[in-house]
Chains A and B, each alone.
Chain A
């Protein structure tokens, strides 16, 4: 099956700086790549996604890039704010979702 690796596992940034989280996947058949934000005690919330026919997608301060050849995709958060502090998960899908192990992001005021 698919194998998704996510790095780093923890990330601390100063407020206003950018944060980048990277994921790699193994199955070239995967064609959908969502990112989820999970706050303490809550379920994962979809924040942005990208499909394999697109290289980049932006939504205000967040963006996702996809390199199909290298089988990796990244989440970029600009102008980070304390409320961005959470655990972020990537996933790769060709039907079923395969999740990365998560990145705990801390934004230091």
Chain B
């Protein structure tokens, strides 16, 4: 079955380190998204991509970057991790017969100490 996976599921890192979170989807969706989820804020968009080599900033993009070299993957990089980036990160994709619908991965819980 087609799916969307994230790795790692849990990560602890130190302030200042570079961290990359992986997202992989097998639906062949053109659109991929990264969100962070914090108590009291719901889900907020970090970056998104509408296709290979396309990337766009979302609402809370400072300190994050993405690159899209193929259809299946959109890795999220924290250039220099900060404690404020402790959060749960979700990847999503869309672009099937109904491009509005977004389907979410299981999430990565990141702790920055």
Contacts and interface: CB of A to CB of B under 8 A. Distances in A.
A97 B102 contact: yes
A93 B101 CA distance: 10
Interface string B79-111: 000000000001000000000111111110000
Interface string A36-71: 100001111110010100000000000000000000
Contacts of B40: 101
B104 A45 contact: yes
A71 to B, nearest CB: 18
B45 A96 contact: yes
Nearest to A100: B42
Contacts of B68: none
Interface string A11-51: 00000000000000000000010101000011111100101
Given A99-B42, A100-B42, A34 B101 contact: yes
A36 to B, nearest CB: 8
Interface residues of B, number: 19
B45 A89 contact: no
Contact of B106 (A43, A46, A97): A43
A101 B41 contact: yes
Interface of B: 33, 40-45, 48, 58-59, 90, 100-107
Interface of A: 1, 4, 6, 32, 34, 36, 41-46, 49, 51, 89, 91, 93, 96-97, 99-102
10 contacts: A36-B104, A42-B107, A49-B100, A49-B101, A91-B43, A96-B58, A97-B45, A99-B43, A99-B44, A101-B41
